[in-house]
Amino acid sequence: MAGQVLRQSCALLAVLCVIYQATAEDISAVACNPDSGGTAECAAKDSNAECKTGEVKCSCAANYIFKTDKSACTATISSVSCNPTSDGTATCVAVNANAECKTDATTCSCKDGYVQDPDTENGCMKDTAVGKACTSNADCAADTNSECTDDTCSCKMNYMEMDSMCEKILGKACTAANEATVCKVNNSKCESDTCQCTTGYTEATAMCSMVLDMTCAQDSDCSTKMTNTACKTTKCACADNYVKEGVFCKKAIGQACTANTDCVGNAECGTDKKCMCKTDYMANSDNSVCEKEDSNAAESIAAPGVLLLASAFLTLKGIC
């Protein structure tokens, strides 16, 4: 019986809240005249509302802002005095954890990345742009990793929305099952339960960029990102005795190897543990590529030899 009464009470309370929200008066829509007792009219709606000079509608007094539904005025964090030279930030943090007393300030303010929460007294909430209507990227400036797309602030490429903020995808937790939906950065994959760049690529401004041809100052700028590389004329390149093949550096013909994958394309690791061209392939002049043998060229080379042997045979036959 008691449980039923409690449930009915909660249901009634919920209904009353809905009715209140539906009937809450929008103070910002209340007409007023500052020259004929307008402020008193506004104050009757909320003690912290007033009719400012030059305005015809009620607004909140200094250091107050309207709640989201405009039904009341809420005190801002700037209503709290502070002194930056005498532990003013501690004064502000005591009021709100996301507030501070900035240099040369006399009142508290929200930290960078936070804005006044209109529904909380002296409140600061995380500033966000995601989901807000916009006409240009400037309207999405609250989140530097967002941009205006189809009239709505959305996360830029290689960023994803988390807690109403746009955060970098690389480094985010993932699983093999959700790799395709989470690790959406080109040339990335889920490895060790986090989104990481694949071999041959490295993280650069939230994307995966090819290591080769990246700007560098010393060999370690390249080799720490991918093995078998070095810094040559301020660009990452394959180290000596290695050849660029796509985004990788492979061992040239004649170089020591332990597996076929160590060697350039169309080459294999021979019995002497050195890279050699596969059958029907031959190395080019600098041993960097294995090229398909030209059968016509081989025949043209072989033909004079055959004629020479035939001629020698006939000569010997005549002598004999």
Give 233-247 pLDDT, tens digit per residue. Answer: 999 999 999 999 999
In this prediction, residue 23 carries a pLDDT of 54
Contact 110, 121 (CB under 8 A): no
Stated pTM of the model: 0.53
Average pLDDT over residues 90-94: 90
pLDDT of 251 > 80? The answer is: yes
pLDDT average, residue stretch 206-223 = 95
Measured in degrees and rounded to the nearest 5, phi and psi for residue 190 equal -90, 115
pLDDT at 116: 84
Give the DSSP H or E segment for 172.
none
**Radius of gyration of the chain, Cα coordinates, nearest whole angstrom:** 37
Q: Residue 39 has what pLDDT? A: 84
Q: What is the pLDDT of residues 142-170, one digit of tens each?
A: 888 999 999 999 999 999 988 778 899 99
Distance CA 117, CA 299 (A): 85
Which tokens sit at 29? 């829509």
Domain coordinates in residue numbering, the chain: 24-126, 129-167, 169-210
**pLDDT (tens digit per residue) in 102-126:** 988 999 999 887 888 888 888 888 7
As a whole number of angstroms, the distance between CA 91 and CA 108 comes to 8
Percentage of the chain beyond pLDDT 70 is: 84
Tens-digit pLDDT profile for residues 128-146:
778 888 899 988 888 889 9
pLDDT band (50, 70, 90) for residue 311:
low
Calculate ∠ Cα 134-140-145, nearest 5°. 135
